Structures are given as C-alpha cells and as structure tokens.
Chains A and B, each alone.
Chain A
Amino acid sequence: MSDAIVSQADSSQPAAGPLLAVDNLHVEFRTRDGVAKVLNGVTYHVNAGETLAVLGESGSGKSVTAQAIMGILDTPPAFVTGGQIRFHGRDMLTMSAEQRRLIRGEGIAMIFQDALSALNPVFTVGFQIAEQFRVRRGMSRADAKKRAIEMLDLVKIPNAKQRVNEYPHQFSGGMRQRVMIAMSLALDPEVLIADEPTTALDVTVQAQIMDLLAELQRERRMGLILITHDLGVVADVADRIVVMYAGRVVEEANVHDLYANPMHPYTRGLLESVPRLDEKGQQLRTIPGLPPSLTRIPPGCPFHPRCSMAQAICQEQTPPLRRLGPTRSSACHFAEELVNRE
C-alpha cells in the first residue's frame, strides 16, 4: 500500500537523496499560560543505513520533532506553523491524513521510552504484533501469528513460541523493549525513530538493546534516528549527530568530529560536564544557569545568557545554522574560533 506512495516519489527524486528530511520545522504549543515556541526551525536528515543521533536535554524539542514526523502531535495544543517534513522527497505535511497513516509503520516507525505504556496491557504481545500483519497486510490469523513468532525470534526473545501468548506485564523491562522493537519492525519500515529507548533500562540491558538495534539496522539498511540525552550511548552507536537546544539545531557533525572538536559552546559545555567512566578528574566544568522557558526564549542566540563567549551580536542576531563542511554545521557566530581551543 505504501508502495504506491514510494514509487510516485521515486520517479521524481534521485535515489541518493536523504530518506527522511526535516526542513525548517516550526511548531508552537498554545497553552493557557502563553505560546511556547517548541520548535524554531529544526533542520536535519537521515540517509538509509545510517544512525543519526539527536542529542538534547529536556525542553530542546527533540521528542516533539519526532512526534511531528510521525504525525502524532496532539492538535491542539500543538500547531505546526512552518517547514517541511520530506519522506523520499515528498512533504508529508501536505499529505492527507490517510496517506500519512499509511506511511506510519511501513515507511517510518517509532519506539518509545516506556514500553509498558506503549503496549496494550489487555492483549497478548502476539496479538499486538500479529494485528499489524492482519490489518495492514491482510494476512490470516494463523499466518499472522506465525509471522509474530518470527518477529519475536528476530529480537532474540527466547522461547518465542510460548512467549507469544503472554501479556506485556509478564516480560521484564528489557524484554518489553524488544517486543516493542519487534512490533515496530513488523511492516519493514525504512526509517526507525527510537525516542530514548534505553533511558529507563539498566545499563547491561541497555547494552544488549543497543547491540540489537545496531544489528537490525545493518541487516535492513534502515535509517535510525536515535533520540537521547546520553553522550555515552551516542558515542557508541551514532554515525552523525545533531545537537538541539531550545527548539533548534545548534550543531551537526559526524561522531568523531563532534567529540574531538565541538563547534558550538553548548556542545562543548555538555562534553565537559559529563563525568566519564575512564577518568577520575577534578570538578566538572558546568554550564551555568538553566535552559530558557519556551514561552520566553531570549532574543538572538537562545544560548547566549549561559555562554561564556557571548558578545553583543549574540543578543541581537540569531545565528543561522551555517554549513562549515560536508557534514558539519554550527549555529554560532564564533564557531570557527572554537576549533583551536584546548
């Protein structure tokens, strides 16, 4: 069914374009307490077979962007006020609700942080996975159930044949996350968005899940968008990274460049403030202050009140996301000067 949409796009776009591209996306939340500008021109893209990490803290807008891509934002209070979200070159924001629904699951799938609330507690996991096959592929119950067992095997759940009849609460946290991954991959999506998939899991389980995601991505040549705040996880699995702050992308780089030479004061501040397993150091260098309230974002660069390098221009002009290399961008007036420090 989504073949129809994909082949239309294929005929008009060169195959080498990004699989999914967010272009200057603006989203507002209109609440009683004012209008919160949650996304202020977010631009990033992901190609087939690569892992893009979207790094940011709370309030940065990283999850809202993902929800906008999936089309699951609650409107009201959320309103998309500008920009495009292009899948295979076609802007999804101009599509009908039905067309977007078709893309969901087959083109782009999403997994969430809390598997327990994302899975329906009153249906068996087998039923929930099989449902996708029954409804979207028109399979018979028996066939759908067989495929469900295959999916559980794929995500390495032992005893899949028995466990397919169990309920979500009978699985441990890590196992539930695997079930959620199985569900999301059922229809063979081209892009998988993982929103903090391991934040609520123990670190040994986290390692297993991240390994699994990496393996599945390789096998299926999926584009993986990994949303997280964990600098360690990013260093381990990402190919490219975008750093978000106050609803915009402030830096983009491939993983080695970002850690070796951050080109935005916020990125640098983050890297310096994280305690490391392999270091016993002195005091952590912290970023003073707090992220801004989204109803009152400072003028100019949103980071300037906390930035040690801020000058007058930072308050007056919002720095655009400037391209500084083939995979390098930074939204800082003084990006170049950061390169040669320490």
Chain B
Amino acid sequence: MSETILEVRDLVKYYPVTRGVVFKKTIGHVKAIDGVSLELRRGETLGVVGESGCGKSTLARVIMNLDRPTSGSVYYRGQNIFEQRGAELRRLRRQIQLVMQDPYTSLNPRMTVGDLVGEPFEIHPEVAPRGSRRRKVQELLEVVGLNPEHINRYPHQFSGGQRQRIGIARALALRPEIIVCDEPVSALDVSIQAQVLNLLEQLQDEFGLSYIFIAHDLSVVRHLSDRVAVMYLGKIVETGTDEEIYERPTHPYTQALLSAVPVPDPASRDRKAVIRLTGDVPSPVDPPSGCRFRTRCWKAQDVCAEVTPALETRPGSDHPSACHFAEQRSIVPTHGV
C-alpha cells in the first residue's frame, strides 16, 4: 500500500452567524464540518460524496488553507499545514492545488489564457526561470488537449469544457502532488463531462497525481475513485473502497443515496432496491443530537439520539461506518467490468 501523503484529523469548521450592522453579535454557528478525519494515499483518488449542506465544499476550502479551521489539523507529509507561514506556506501551496466547479467564473475574464496558466510561475518564480515560462505554458495547454497557439485568447472565447481544461492546466503548472477537485464536471454537459473525466484520469497516470475528488454525482465519483468517503451534515458516515461502498454499503444514508441515483438502464428499474427518505435535511446550525441522520432514518432508536456513533468498522462489515445498526445491503447490483 502506498504511503499516506495527506492526513486530515478531527477537522472542525464552524461559521459564526451574526446579527447587527455596526457591532456584530454572534447568535449561533453553522457547523459546516464537525469532526472529519480522512487519509489520502499517494497516487490514489479519494472521492468525497454528499448532498448539499454536507460540508464537502467547506472541506475543500479548509484543506486548501483558504479558511482556517475552528479546530483539528491537516498534515501534508507530516507537516501541519496550518502552522506554516510565509515561504514555507508558499512552498506548501505548490504541492496542493485546486480545480473549481464553475468554468465561467473560475478564470479572470481580463487575463489571457497565457497569463492565467502562467500565473503560478509568477507567484512561484523559483519553479521556472522567466525565459522558459511561455514554453511551459504552451506545453501545459497541449497536455490538457488545447491548441497552444490560442495562448493569447481570452476565456470568453472558449467553451465551458475548454475553460475547465484551462483551469486544470493552471492547477498542473507547479507539478503538485495533490489536486483537490471541487465538483469539476458538474457544470458541464454530459458529453463534455466524459472528455474532462478522461483527461483527469490520464493526467493522474502521466504525472503521478493524487486526487481528492469532491462531487455530488455518485456515478461520476465511482468512475474515478479508488476509495470513497460519504458525508452527511458535516460528518463522514461511511468510508471504504469504491467496491465496498457501492456494492456493500452498510450505513442507511449511503444505502438511501445509492437507491436514489438513477441508472441509465431501464432494466434496472426492477432490480434496484427502493429506499426513499422523507423530510428535509436538518439545518447545520442546529443539527440533531447524537447521530445526525436519525431524524430521517428508518432504523433510528433511542440510542441514536444519545450516543454519537463513531466511524469504525462494525461487526459484519469490512469497512468503517458511523451507525449503531450498520448492516450490509446490496442496493445496485453491479455488472460490467
């Protein structure tokens, strides 16, 4: 098994809810992430899935050190990233990069493609001497499947899929070890999604990248991920290899999630287990006590409100799950390779 290069330990991020115009008073907290731990190994793709409000985007921001956590730590190769400052922090940024969701807003409209992809070299001049930058930018454009002669064009002259490729080229410029992909294909058309997914896969092989792939589309996550973590309301409820999660899910939420995802095969209408959740996702300002999923769970008992289930391997299953009554159940029979 390859080494662990990124370790997230008990990460907590609360956002204060304030009231008042001149003097702001804190009246509550949005508990966006509430104790998340995970590991990323070299060369693998860790998928993080969840629906809106689960905290996966916050997770991306905190791992990228764009927001300071309320508590907890993230270790990159043994170094706590939140304790780094100045030059050390800048060096760290070279290793962990970000690809964002919206190709229409993630590129500065006033900069040419060359400027955009070349900006990492300007911020980190030690990576490439000035004379070689243009050539490197052109190489990057080629690597992501764009025409290097378009280096002087502006973002609005490209389609959504091409803009996303520009964003990927930018993330790749400093040859990072880890790329955090925050919903990189959600805003793209189906046929373009496939192109970009293939590109990401190809780049991973070619450059030995490790991905944290955050998405809400379970089919897409399965395609790319080696291991998967399922999030609900700020916590991880289940984690395992893609096979373990998709074929032998044990947490009721994972099971409900898998049951809800439509499969592009009419024959599966009859084969799929039907689980329907009722009600809404509770507010992250005031999450339920104990297990957060209990308000919508068909297995909920008293103990679920009193004792928060820990994320650990439960009897009868082969991977960690945060449920007192974790039970393996096949939702979507797998076929194909």
A4 at the interface (CB under 8 A from B): no
A211 and B278 CA atoms in complex are apart in Å by: 12
Residues of A within 8 A of B267 (CB): 256, 259
A145 and B197 CA atoms in complex are apart in Å by: 50
Residues of B within 8 A of A273 (CB): 190-191, 193-194
| Chain A contacts with B in 228-250, Cβ cutoff 8 A | 229-236
- Would A278 and B332 be within 8 Å (CB), given that A207-B259, A284-B197, A290-B161 are in contact? yes
Q: Do B264 and A203 touch across chains, with their CB atoms under 8 A apart? A: no
A275 and B201 CA atoms in complex are apart in Å by: 13
CB distance from B315 to the nearest CB of A (A): 27
- Our count of residue pairs bridging A and B at CB distance below 8 angstroms stands at 145
Q: Which of A158, A175, A202, A286 contacts B216 (CB 8 A)?
A: A202
Residues of A within 8 A of B278 (CB): 208
Contact with B along A187-221 (1 / 0, CB 8 A): 00000000000000011111110110000000000
A282 and B216 CA atoms in complex are apart in Å by: 21
Q: Do B281 and A208 touch across chains, with their CB atoms under 8 A apart? A: no
Q: Do B261 and A232 touch across chains, with their CB atoms under 8 A apart? A: yes
Q: Do B260 and A207 touch across chains, with their CB atoms under 8 A apart? A: yes
Q: Which residue of B lies closest to A175 (CB)?
A: B280
B9 at the interface (CB under 8 A from A): no
- Would A231 and B159 be within 8 Å (CB), given that A204-B260, A277-B332, A286-B195 are in contact? no
B220 at the interface (CB under 8 A from A): yes
A276 and B217 CA atoms in complex are apart in Å by: 10
Q: Do B281 and A172 touch across chains, with their CB atoms under 8 A apart? A: yes
CB distance from B283 to the nearest CB of A (A): 10
- B193, B246, B265, B269 — most chain A CB neighbours (10 Å): B265
Q: Do B337 and A282 touch across chains, with their CB atoms under 8 A apart? A: yes
Q: Which of A174, A204, A275 contacts B256 (CB 8 A)?
A: A204
Q: Do B220 and A275 touch across chains, with their CB atoms under 8 A apart? A: yes
Subset of 26 A-B contacts with CB under 8 Å = A57-B189, A57-B191, A172-B281, A202-B51, A202-B52, A203-B218, A203-B261, A207-B262, A208-B278, A235-B266, A235-B269, A259-B267, A274-B194, A275-B219, A275-B223, A276-B219, A277-B218, A279-B334, A280-B334, A281-B223, A282-B337, A283-B201, A284-B223, A286-B194, A290-B159, A291-B189
Q: A57-B191, A232-B264, A279-B335 are in contact. List 13 more A-B contacts (CB 8 A).
A: A204-B276, A233-B262, A259-B266, A269-B191, A273-B191, A276-B219, A276-B263, A277-B332, A279-B337, A280-B222, A286-B191, A286-B194, A291-B189
